[in-house]
Amino acid sequence: SFTSPSSPPVPPPQPSLQPNSLSSNATDAKLPPSVFTLPQTAQLEALYTIIRDKETSRGDFLFYSDRIIRLLVEEGLNHLPVIQKSVVTPTGATYDGVGFEGKICGVSILRAGEAMEAGLREVCRSVRIGKILIQRDEETAQPKLFYSKFPQDIAKRYVLLLDPMLATGGSAMKAVDVLMEHGVPEDRIIFINLISSPEGLKNFCGRFPRLKVITGWIDQGLNEKAYIIPGLGDFGERRYCE
């Protein structure tokens, strides 16, 4: 709204939350050193508030979850090694910079992880992407591999493992087992997810301490159906079903 010339100047609105003052950071002190969260700013919390809201439309869920996925992928790339690289700029001067070392690929854990592939492709043009389908074995109640397809040289690549929700950690741990069976060293895998539970992080990082986890938000815990609380419900349903 407009103010008349005689009105006193209106101060800009103050953010209601200051960066790094959010409650989820209360768990930071106990986080394993291999876990990295996105900067817990008020803006990020606003994005999460939208995607957690059960009234949010599918269109908005797609848009805002994609924004978070993009931030996560960028953060994941920050953890890849670089080597010294010099270039000559159009001024004729030499710039001593860096270039990425080694090749990467994405591996999505089906089906929800597929939703993160587009975000990876936006940032890494023509990136190779593998897939892995893990489901609960009804007889043993353990996660079981049903399908996998990887780039044939995956053992030589850094792998960005994609799954939006880290609940108990069962599927993610099975996925890492399969990647390691294909020759990918543990410390070349970076696991990227939107929301994780403290239980899932403890299980996963306890098993694979050399593997980095990039997570957007750490929630309170799990309910009796192993859904993350407060969470956002079933990510696949929210993303793919009207």
Residue from the set 35, 105, 115, 165 that interacts with ligand URA by CB under 6 A: 165
Q: Per rule CB under 6 A, is residue 235 in the interface with ligand URA?
A: yes
Taking CB under 6 A as the binding criterion, the range among 16-24, 72-80, 99-107, 231-239 that sits at the site for ligand URA is: 231-239
Q: Do 201 and 214 contact (CB within 8 A), yes or no?
A: no
Q: State in angstroms the smallest separation of the CB of 65 from ligand URA.
A: 11
Query: With b meaning 16 or more CB within 10 Å and e meaning fewer, what string describes 218-232?
Result: bbeebeeeeebeebb
> Which residues, other chains included, contact 14 with Cβ-Cβ below 8 Å and sequence gap of 6+?
none
Residue 225 contacts by C-beta under 8 Å, 6 or more apart in sequence? none
Determine, following the binding rule CB under 6 A, whether residue 184 of this chain makes contact with ligand URA: no
Residues 28 and 137: their CA atoms lie apart, in Å, by 34
**For residues 166 and 193, is the Cβ–Cβ distance under 8 A?**
yes
Closest CA to 69 of 119, 118, 104: 119
Residue 234 engages ligand URA in binding (rule: CB under 6 A): yes
Give, as ranges, the residues between 37 and 96 that touch ligand URA (CB under 6 A): none
- With contacts defined by CB under 6 A, name the span among 86-94, 98-106, 123-131, 223-231 that binds ligand URA: 223-231
Q: Which stretch binds ligand URA (CB under 6 A): 42-50, 63-71, 147-155, 232-240?
A: 232-240
CB of 197 to ligand URA, least distance (A): 8
Total binding residues toward ligand URA, as defined by CB under 6 A: 9
Kindly tell me which of 93 and 141 has the beta carbon lying closer to ligand URA. 141
Least distance (Å) from ligand URA to the CB of residue 199?
A: 11
Sorted by sequence, the CB contacts under 8 Å of residue 8 that are 6+ apart come out as none
Q: Which residues of 34-49 are buried (b: 16+ CB within 10 A; e: fewer)?
A: bbbbbebbeebbebbe
Residues 148/132, Cβ–Cβ less than 8 Å: yes
Residue of 227, 239, 241, 242 interacting with ligand URA (CB under 6 A): 227
Task: Name the one range near ligand URA by CB under 6 A: 11-19, 32-40, 154-162, 224-232.
Answer: 224-232
Note the residues at the interface with ligand URA (CB under 6 A): 112, 165, 167, 227-228, 231, 234-236
